Each structure stands twice: as structure tokens, then as C-alpha cells.
């Protein structure tokens, strides 16, 4: 063992407590990262296995060849295939069985009268396939449906809705259908496919309720005979299939399904967790750097003596980096073990919160182990590099100095550099959000703003601590004054300690401001665009649910209290070669119930070959009133439509509007996403809403809301998102607080003699504890105020950048109550972080403290 290594190991043994905070920071960051990677691999493998088991008997899938994908969707919409094609498929050599698979939206109502699911994952219904090898669902209890009205549901759905075999309930298709549960099923051995719900019906019922016309199916499932491979089967099928219909192997179909789950949930979920792992490790970087900076400052005389005895700069630097390496490797290795524990805990926790984690052992890949280990070591060594270089530069004469206290302050170079970065950040940001809308420019400016805050921290800390600590002189007297002076004695240390908390608070504030802005935008959108009195709507979060019956608007229009009721349906088509979502509605009723802005042309004359487009889309497509647009529907039919109206606003009405008569030949399962209702003059909102609710109850009890209620519920998913964000950011804030506590603990060790002298001249234990706690609060206050300022600025940048790159107008909002709570939490956290160092300081033996060198 080299002398440098022996010296490092001896130092670590002698000063284990100094690196406790660093160890915890690295451990938590690595554990979160490793847990995320292991959980992602396990979920991916679990879904792969589940889909593989469920579809193992399907050797080929016959379906429509073309799919239309609209912006924001990963899977396209396909036209149905004719069920008569089953006879053709069955005659192909090598085919053992072929059955139509009819799929559509169907949402069960639970025993409590509330719909099951629909908040994101789809709610599916389809025909129950009698061939057990071709049916991805396996009958676990009861029997298959035989008569109209009988259904089989997946067991997870039944448990969630408190339903059992023999119960009668309602299935929204979207028209309500009374059904009786006669069986419970599993999917690939699990109670369900994540939170997706499934209801299996007879084939006749599926054709009646889930298709636009009899004789259509979503696809045809095919099973091969003995000795026929999937690829060979597909080749044989392809020779007899009509134009516009294709065959793919069962393996390809399984991979598409798993890719859909991966792209829609797993990738987004794991990416989100990885982002917060990165934030946690970034916060840990400041804490680790601060720890090593203080330790190096405290060991100035020790390092100087080593230099005087012949140690080279390289040896002193290497000794410090060796200490960092030992801490990094040890903490990262333990963090990996902790990450496996985190993943195992989530595997057990997920089912209790309604998300069935696929059963099976944890999948621990080499990447999931090596990447967190490497990241932990790099973060720790990178954070310790500058303090190590500073240690190597210690002059031998420093051994003669009386103190080793870090007196580093804010240099002029730092001030100039920070001011330059801040000016460049503001210039790029304003250019990216005001002059030439660009997310890249805005993002670059935001990163530079963060760097400017970090660089300017020591410069600003002196003024900030004086201002924030001013009231302490009056409120706490000498104790408060000493706390403020202690925080001022090393501006660089104070800034570095506060920077970790600043980043955590900044990200919390960023999401808080952005979430409040999204809510304000939704409220503004509804207030500006929706001229109706009440809205009957489907869940606003996600794409689940069965929608609303297209007959509901007509039933509401017949009410004596109602002036206008208009339903907004959804269709898809390619408009001049680009997939677009279509709003299917009554244009005249739409114009009376929604504020569409300035309308050029007329919505009265759309008919079956006219289309209305927003001004923004018309400009993109180079269209105006009277121009022709070619629409290609999922059934392959190409139709030329005439642009008969161009309107200004699209927030609720959509970008493209056609009539129901124009959509009818191409529709599949028809449904509305929203029914807007305006009351006649003299009808109160309460009386009108009660009348609407009475009619809506006959159509599956959809929710009826006033305009204000509709705006609030539309923003409901934002609160869910913020709750998740706050929970994930708690780790980053915890690491920041560990950094504050560790810094104060090291500072107490550094000021042992000073504290002993204060006790000797009459300072009580309680006064000493209060002094350390208030110092912690001042550091936390500096970090919190800086984080709030930076977070609000970045929130404004994100809102304005989103506004500039979209057709909708975003409203910027700063929520004072939420930000006040963030401030209070930051200050409280600072007080908590100071408890242990304060208690340790108060326990110092006075005589030993005075005798300390």
C-alpha cells in the first residue's frame, strides 16, 4: 500500500463523521437512480412476459394495412376488416383456426355507481373468443358469455368495482347497456393488463354496440397448424388477402403491443424518474463539494506539514482524491443495494395503489448496476476535484499559521463572470420567448441563468444574509447577531451550502408556477371559448373512458329548459397527407355555443363535402375559403372537401370541423367527448343543471358541470402531476438538508475553540443551540429565496416558450399561497437541519474546547 493511500485510509478512520453527509448524499442519489433502472427493466420484462403468455397461441393477425396517426399519439387508428374474410383465411393451407376480434371502448360502472378506470389507460370491450389459444384472456372463474347481455370481465376490474359473478351493472359503449357478469378472466396470468379494463361480450353484442355496422372486426386472429411457422403462415395469407389488408406475425403483434405500453407509460415514467435522479445527484454535487472544501480548509496546517516534510503537490492532491474515491465507491456500492431494495419495495407497493406490478423476480441487468456505480463515483470525484487541487497548492509556510478557517470570499472576477453569464442568460431567454420563439434558445438561457445564480452566489450571499438576518439583531439580540456573523464569515461556503437547497426549491417553484399557469390557461380557455351554461364531459385526464352517447345531445335539445345542446365527436383523417384529428359536430350549434373568434366564410354550408379550419392550420396548409383539401379516411376512401369557413380559435372546438353526415360513412364506434348546453333566457343554472342531470342519467350517469366546475375538473390532472413532482423532489430537498447539516457540523468542529470561549464568557447552552439553529435558518432562507426567484423566472420562461411554439395562448400565473408554503417549508427544513449540529455544539466540554488547536 502506497504512503498516499495509507494516509488517506488513516484520515478516513480518524474523521469518519466528517464524511457521513457525503456518504448519505451519494447513497441516496445512487439508490434512486439504480432503483429507477431496475424497476424499469423489471416492468419491461414483466410486460413482455405477460403479453408473450397472453398471445402465445396467436400465430398471425390480419388487419387493415394503413393506420392514420395524429400528432401526440403513438398508435394510429385502423379501419376495420370484414368478418367474411374469416372464411377466406380458414381455407389457406396451414391455418388451424381463425376468429374475428372485435375491439372497442366500453366502460363498466362499479357497484357504487361510478365508472371504473378511464383516467388514462383505456377501457376496452370486445367479443369473447371461444378458442382458448387465440383468446389473450383466460377464463379464471365462471363461464363464457352465451346470451345477449352476458359478459366476462378481467378480475382486476371486478375487484376495483366491487363486482362479482352474478352482479348486474351498466356497460357504457358509450350508450348504456345493462349486462350481467358470468365470468372473471386473467390476462397473461395477471388480473389485468396494468390498469386497462376489459369486458368480453358475445359476438352479436360486440357487433351491435362496438361497430358502426355488422360484419366488421378490428382484426382476425389466426392460429397455425402443426409444423407451420409464423412467417410461413403470414406469407401464405398475404397471397390471398385483398388490397388494403395485411397479415403480420403474432410475434410482431406482441412486440407492437409491448412497444405501445413502453412508449405510452414505461418510457415516460422511467424518464421522469431519471430526470429527478439527475436533479438529486446535482444537488448532491454541491453538498459533496462543500464538504471537501471545508475539510481541505480545516486541514490546511496538516497539508502544509506534509508539504514541509517533502510531500509533493501531486501526492497531497492524490491523497484527497483517494479519500473521495473510497467514499464514492463505498457509498455507490451500498446505494446500488439500496436501489434494489427501492425497486423491491415499489414492486410490493404498486398493487396496493391500484397499479398491478407484473409478477416475477426483479430484473437486475449489468447496465442497472454499472451505470449508477459509475455516476456515483464520477459525481463524487468531480465534486472533490477542485478542493483536492486547492489542497495540493497549500504552501509549506501555512503550517505556521494559527488558524485553518476558510476565509474565502467573493472575488471581483467571480462578480464580473457571474454578471456576464446573467446578462447572456437574459438576452438568450428574452430572444427565445419574445423575439424569435425557440425552445432551444429559451432552454439554453435557462441553463445559463442557473449557472449565473451559482457563480454569483458568494457575491450575493453577503448582502442577502445581512438583509435576511437584519431582524435577528432585534428579535434575538446577541445570539441573532452572532448567527448572522457566522453565516457571513465565509460567503463562498454559505453560497455553496445554500445552492443545493436553491436548486431543489427552484425546481419545486418551477413546477408550481407552471402548474398554476396551466390551470389559469384552462380557466381562461373555458371562460373565453365556452359560451354554454353546463358541460357534460368524459374524464379530462388521459384518453380512457368510453365517451358520451351521440344521442345525448339530441335528448338534451328536446328539454324545455335548453336553448342549444351540441355534442363534439372525434374522428381522424389525413388532410393533404398529414394525420389530423377532426371535430365531428353540428356546425351551427357549435357556433352558438362556442366563441370561435372571427369566422371567414360560413359554417352553415359545410354539408357532406365542406370543412372548417382554424386560421393557424389554414396558414400552415396554405389554405383559405374556397380551396380544396383532400381527406383520406381510415377506410382508405379519398374525398375532396371544400374549405367553407376559417375560424380564429381552436382550444375546445379543435382545428378541423366536419358535419356528422360527412363523417357517418367512415365512422367506427361513434362517441362524443363533450356536450355543451346553453339554457333559455330565464332558466337558472340550478334548474337547468338538474334537468340535464335527469336526462344524462339515462345515458350512463356522465358528469354534468357548470362552466367553472368544468374548468376546474379539466385541470384536475395538473394537481396529480404536481403531487408526484413534489414527492419525487423530496429526495433532492432531503439531500440539500443533509448538506446544510453536514456543513454546520464541520463548521462547529472548525469553531470548537471559539465556541468554548463563548461558553466561558457566559453564553448558555440554549443560547449556543439557538445561535447554530438561526445560522442554519439564514442559510436555508438564502437558498429558498434564491430558489423561488430562479424557479419563478424559469416558470415564466417555460410558459412563454410554450406559448410561442403552440397555437394556444398560455396564461402566466404566480400562485402566492403555494409559493408561501414552499418558503415556509424551506425555512422549517433549515431549522430542522440545524437541530443535530446545535445539539452537538451545546454538548462541547468548555475546557477541552478552549484547549483545542
316-341 per-position pLDDT tens digit = 777 778 878 888 888 899 989 988 88
Whether 672 contacts 568, CB under 8 Å: yes
> How far are the Cα atoms of 406, 449, 482, 748 from residue 751, in angstroms, in the given order?
11, 35, 13, 5
Q: Is the peptide bond before 174 cis (omega within 30 degrees of 0)?
A: yes
- Residue 457 resides in a domain: no
d(CA 566, CA 546): 18
Same-domain pairing of 577 and 624:
yes
**pLDDT value at position 397?**
61
Q: Which residue has the cell 462578480?
A: 415
**pLDDT value at position 698?**
87
Nearest to 182 by CA among 127, 130, 141: 141
Span 90-94, mean pLDDT?
92
Encode 271-301: b = buried (16+ Cβ within 10 Å), e = exposed: eebeebbebbbbbbbbbbbbbbbbbbbbbbb
Whether 160 contacts 115, CB under 8 Å: no
**pLDDT value at position 25?**
79
Whether 356 contacts 191, CB under 8 Å: yes
- Residue 323 resides in a domain: yes
Angle, CA 269 vertex, CA 286 and CA 719 arms, to 5°: 85
Highest mean pLDDT among 314-318, 412-416, 552-556: 552-556
Nearest to 776 by CA among 827, 729, 732, 730: 827
* Domain edge (last residue) among 361, 383, 404: 404
Span 435-464, mean pLDDT?
77
Cα-Cα-Cα-Cα dihedral sign, residues 708, 714, 716, 718: negative
- Find the length of the chain: 853
d(CA 138, CA 150): 17
**pLDDT value at position 813?**
84
**pLDDT value at position 194?**
62
Nearest to 198 by CA among 161, 145, 155, 169: 155
**What's the chain's Rg over C-alpha atoms?**
33
Same-domain pairing of 219 and 187:
yes
Span 658-676, mean pLDDT?
89
Highest mean pLDDT among 201-215, 274-288, 412-426, 703-717: 201-215
**Sequence-separated (6 or more) residues with CB below 8 Å from residue 634:** 64, 66, 67, 68, 77, 78, 79, 572, 573, 666, 668
Encode 586-600: b = buried (16+ Cβ within 10 Å), e = exposed: bbebbbebbbbeebe
Same-domain pairing of 285 and 372:
yes
CA 126, chain centre distance (Å): 31
Q: What is the mean pLDDT of the chain?
A: 81
More confident residue, 843 or 428: 428
Instruction: With cut-offs at 50, 70 and 90, classify the pLDDT of residue 353.
Output: low
Nearest to 33 by CA among 270, 274, 268, 333: 274
Which structural domain, as residue segments, surrounds residue 786? 462-532+708-853
Task: Give this prediction's pTM.
Answer: 0.76
Nearest to 487 by CA among 460, 454, 505: 460
- Residue 538 resides in a domain: no
Nearest to 301 by CA among 768, 837, 853: 853
**pLDDT value at position 804?**
56
d(CA 215, CA 309): 94
**pLDDT value at position 365?**
86
Whether 679 contacts 563, CB under 8 Å: yes
Instruction: With cut-offs at 50, 70 and 90, classify the pLDDT of residue 404.
Output: very low
Exposed, middle or buried, 205 (CB in 10 Å: 0-12/13-18/19+)? buried
d(CA 247, CA 230): 10
Element at 487 (helix H, strand E):
helix 439-488
Span 587-608, mean pLDDT?
88
Same-domain pairing of 99 and 243:
yes
- Residue 423 resides in a domain: no
Same-domain pairing of 150 and 276:
no
Same-domain pairing of 196 and 50:
no
d(CA 590, CA 649): 12
Does residue 45 surpass a pLDDT of 60? yes
| Helices 752-760 and 716-750: angle between axes, nearest 10 degrees | 80
Does residue 418 surpass a pLDDT of 70? yes
Instruction: With cut-offs at 50, 70 and 90, classify the pLDDT of residue 667.
Output: confident
Element at 775 (helix H, strand E):
helix 765-804
Does residue 140 surpass a pLDDT of 80? yes
Largest CA distance in the chain: 103
Instruction: With cut-offs at 50, 70 and 90, classify the pLDDT of residue 73.
Output: low
What's phi and psi for 252, nearest 5 deg?
A: -65, -40
Task: State the SS3 of 101-155.
Answer: ECEEECEEECCCCCECCCCCCCEEEEECCCCCCCCCEEEEEECCCCCCCEEEEEH
User: Which of 150-164, 390-404, 490-504 is least confident?
Assistant: 390-404
Does residue 249 surpass a pLDDT of 90? yes
Whether 641 contacts 495, CB under 8 Å: no
Encode 666-678: b = buried (16+ Cβ within 10 Å), e = exposed: bbbbbbbbbbbbb
Whether 792 contacts 509, CB under 8 Å: yes
d(CA 263, CA 417): 42
Query: How many contiguous H segments (helices) and E segments (strands) does the chain have?
Result: 26, 26
**pLDDT value at position 190?**
77
- Residue 167 resides in a domain: yes
Same-domain pairing of 256 and 226:
no
Span 119-129, mean pLDDT?
83
Determine how many CB atoms are found less than 10 A away from the CB of residue 730: 14
**pLDDT value at position 3?**
56
**pLDDT value at position 545?**
67
d(CA 115, CA 732): 37
**pLDDT value at position 118?**
67
What's phi and psi for 567, nearest 5 deg?
A: -100, 145
d(CA 480, CA 488): 12
What count of Cα atoms within 13 Å lies in the side-chain half-sphere of residue 546? 34
For residue 424, give the C-alpha cell.
447572456
Same-domain pairing of 519 and 577:
no
What DSSP designation does 363 have? -
Same-domain pairing of 392 and 292:
yes
What DSSP designation does 594 have? B
d(CA 714, CA 589): 22
**Sequence-separated (6 or more) residues with CB below 8 Å from residue 26:** 284, 288, 327, 328, 331, 332, 335, 376, 379, 380
Same-domain pairing of 50 and 106:
no
What's phi and psi for 76, nearest 5 deg?
A: -85, 170
> How far are the Cα atoms of 133, 226, 522 from residue 232, in angstroms, in the given order?
19, 12, 53
Cross-strand pairs, 198: 124
**pLDDT value at position 543?**
47
Cross-strand pairs, 246: 63
* Domain edge (last residue) among 659, 685, 701: 701
Span 820-840, mean pLDDT?
81
Instruction: With cut-offs at 50, 70 and 90, classify the pLDDT of residue 10.
Output: low
d(CA 57, CA 250): 8
d(CA 522, CA 89): 50
**pLDDT value at position 218?**
92
Does residue 549 surpass a pLDDT of 80? yes
d(CA 605, CA 659): 10
- Residue 453 resides in a domain: no
* Domain edge (last residue) among 701, 736, 761: 701
For residue 210, give the C-alpha cell.
362496438
Report how far apart the first and last C-alpha atoms of the chain are (Å, whole number).
31
Highest mean pLDDT among 256-260, 385-389, 434-438, 672-676: 672-676
- Residue 441 resides in a domain: no
Element at 215 (helix H, strand E):
none
Exposed, middle or buried, 814 (CB in 10 Å: 0-12/13-18/19+)? middle
Same-domain pairing of 244 and 317:
no
- Residue 452 resides in a domain: no
Number of structural domains, the chain? 4
Strands (E), 519-671: 534-537, 562-575, 578-585, 600-601, 610-614, 628-632, 638-647, 656-659
- The pairing of strands 150-154 and 176-187 is parallel
Same-domain pairing of 552 and 515:
no
Alpha helices by DSSP H, 350-411: 366-392
Does residue 844 surpass a pLDDT of 80? no
More confident residue, 723 or 793: 793
CA 431, chain centre distance (Å): 28
Amino acid at each position: 500500500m502506497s504512503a498516499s493511500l495509507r494516509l488517506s485510509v488513516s484520515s478516513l478512520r480518524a474523521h469518519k463523521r466528517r464524511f457521513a453527509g457525503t456518504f448519505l448524499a451519494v447513497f441516496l442519489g445512487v439508490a434512486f437512480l439504480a432503483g429507477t433502472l431496475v424497476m424499469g427493466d423489471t416492468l419491461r420484462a414483466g410486460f413482455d412476459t405477460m403479453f408473450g403468455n397472453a398471445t402465445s397461441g396467436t400465430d398471425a393477425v390480419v388487419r387493415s394495412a394503413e393506420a392514420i396517426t395524429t400528432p401526440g399519439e403513438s398508435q394510429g387508428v385502423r379501419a376495420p376488416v370484414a368478418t367474411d374474410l374469416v372464411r377466406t383465411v380458414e381455407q389457406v393451407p396451414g391455418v388451424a383456426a381463425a376468429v374475428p376480434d372485435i375491439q372497442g371502448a366500453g366502460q363498466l360502472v362499479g357497484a357504487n355507481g361510478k365508472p371504473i378506470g378511464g383516467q388514462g389507460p383505456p377501457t376496452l370491450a370486445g367479443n369473447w373468443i371461444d378458442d382458448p389459444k387465440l383468446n389473450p384472456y383466460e377464463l379464471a372463474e365462471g363461464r363464457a358469455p352465451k346470451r345477449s347481455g352476458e359478459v366476462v370481465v378481467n378480475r382486476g376490474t371486478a375487484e376495483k368495482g366491487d363486482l362479482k359473478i352474478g352482479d348486474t351493472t351498466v356497460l357504457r359503449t358509450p350508450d348504456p347497456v345493462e349486462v350481467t357478469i358470468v365470468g372473471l378472466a386473467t390476462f397473461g396470468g395477471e388480473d389485468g393488463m396494468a390498469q386497462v379494463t376489459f369486458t368480453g361480450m358475445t359476438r352479436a353484442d360486440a357487433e351491435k354496440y362496438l361497430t358502426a355496422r355488422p360484419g366488421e372486426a378490428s382484426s382476425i386472429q389466426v392460429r397455425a397448424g402443426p409444423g407451420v411457422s409464423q412467417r410461413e403462415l403470414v406469407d401464405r395469407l398475404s397471397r390471398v388477402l385483398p388490397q388494403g389488408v395485411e397479415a403480420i406475425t403474432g410475434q410482431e403483434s406482441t412486440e407492437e403491443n409491448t412497444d405501445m405500453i413502453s412508449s405510452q407509460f414505461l418510457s415516460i415514467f422511467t424518464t421522469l424518474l431519471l430526470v429527478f435522479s439527475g436533479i438529486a445527484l446535482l444537488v448532491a454535487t454541491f453538498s459533496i463539494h462543500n464538504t471537501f472544501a471545508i475539510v481541505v480548509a480545516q486541514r490546511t496546517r496538516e497539508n502544509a506539514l506534509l508539504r514541509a516534510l517533502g510531500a509533493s503537490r501531486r501526492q497531497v492532491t492524490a491523497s484527497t482524491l483517494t479519500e473521495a474515491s473510497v467514499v464514492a465507491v463505498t457509498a455507490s456500492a451500498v446505494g446500488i443495494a439500496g436501489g434494489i431494495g427501492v425497486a423491491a419495495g415499489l414492486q410490493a407497493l404498486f398493487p396496493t395503489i391500484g397499479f398491478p406490478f407484473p409478477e416475477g423476480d426483479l430484473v437486475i441487468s449489468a447496465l442497472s448496476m454499472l451505470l449508477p456505480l459509475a455516476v456515483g463515483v464520477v459525481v463524487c470525484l468531480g465534486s472533490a476535484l477542485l478542493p483536492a487541487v486547492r489542497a495540493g497548492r497549500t504552501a509549506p509556510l501555512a503550517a505556521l499559521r494559527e488558524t485553518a478557517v476558510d476565509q474565502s470570499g467573493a472575488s471581483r472576477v467571480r462578480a464580473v463572470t457571474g454578471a456576464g453569464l446573467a446578462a447572456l442568460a437574459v438576452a438568450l431567454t428574452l430572444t427565445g420567448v419574445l423575439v424569435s420563439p425557440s425552445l432551444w434558445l429559451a432552454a439554453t438561457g435557462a441553463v445559463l441563468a442557473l449557472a449565473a445564480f451559482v457563480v454569483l452566489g458568494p457575491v450575493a450571499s453577503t448582502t442577502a444574509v445581512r438583509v435576511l438576518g437584519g431582524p435577528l439583531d432585534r428579535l434575538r439580540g446577541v445570539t441573532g447577531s452572532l448567527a448572522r456573523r457566522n453565516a457571513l464569515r465565509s460567503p463562498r461556503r454559505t453560497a455553496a451550502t445554500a445552492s443545493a437547497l436553491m436548486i431543489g426549491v427552484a425546481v419545486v417553484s418551477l413546477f408550481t408556477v407552471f402548474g398554476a399557469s396551466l390551470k389559469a390557461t384552462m380557466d381562461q380557455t373555458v371562460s373565453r371559448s365556452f359560451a354554454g351554461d353546463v358541460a357534460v364531459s368524459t374524464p379530462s385526464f388521459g384518453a380512457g373512458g368510453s365517451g358520451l352517447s351521440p344521442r345525448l345531445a339530441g335528448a338534451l335539445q328536446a328539454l324545455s329548459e335548453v336553448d342549444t345542446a351540441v355534442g363534439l365527436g372525434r374522428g381522424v383523417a389525413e388532410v393533404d397527407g398529414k394525420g389530423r384529428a377532426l371535430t365531428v359536430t353540428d356546425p351551427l350549434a357549435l357556433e352558438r355555443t362556442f366563441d370561435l373568434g372571427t369566422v371567414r366564410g360560413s359554417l352553415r354550408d359545410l354539408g357532406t363535402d365542406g370543412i372548417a379550419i382554424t386560421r393557424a392550420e389554414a396558414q400552415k396548409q396554405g389554405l383559405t375559403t374556397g380551396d380544396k383539401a383532400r381527406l383520406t379516411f381510415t377506410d382508405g376512401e379519398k374525398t375532396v372537401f371544400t374549405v367553407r369557413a376559417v375560424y380564429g380559435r381552436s382550444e375546445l372546438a379543435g382545428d378541423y370541423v366536419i358535419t356528422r353526415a360527412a363523417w357517418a360513412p367512415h365512422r367506427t364506434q361513434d362517441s362524443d367527448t363533450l356536450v355543451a348546453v346553453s339554457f333559455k333566457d330565464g332558466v337558472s343554472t340550478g334548474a337547468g343543471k338538474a334537468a340535464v342531470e335527469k336526462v344524462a342519467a339515462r345515458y350512463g350517469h356522465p358528469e354534468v358541470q357548470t362552466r367553472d366546475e368544468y374548468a376546474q375538473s379539466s385541470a384536475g390532472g395538473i394537481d396529480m402531476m404536481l403531487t408526484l413532482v413534489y414527492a419525487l423532489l423530496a429526495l433532492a430537498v432531503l439531500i440539500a438538508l443533509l448538506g446544510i447539516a453536514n456543513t454546520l457540523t464541520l463548521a462547529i468542529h472548525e469553531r470548537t475553540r471559539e465556541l468554548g470561549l463563548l461558553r466561558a464568557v457566559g453564553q448558555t447552552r440554549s443560547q449556543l443551540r439557538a445561535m447554530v439553529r438561526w445560522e442554519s435558518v439564514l442559510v436555508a432562507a438564502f437558498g429558498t429565496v434564491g430558489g423561488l426567484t430562479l424557479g419563478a423566472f424559469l416558470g415564466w420562461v417555460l410558459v412563454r416558450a410554450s406559448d410561442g411554439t403552440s397555437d394556444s395562448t398560455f396564461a402566466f400565473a404566480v400562485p402566492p399561497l403555494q409559493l408561501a408554503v414552499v418558503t415556509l417549508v424551506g425555512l422549517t427544513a433549515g431549522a430542522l437541519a440545524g437541530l443535530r449540529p446545535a445539539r452537538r455544539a451545546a454538548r462541547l466540554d468548555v475546557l477541552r474546547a478552549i484547549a483545542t488547536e
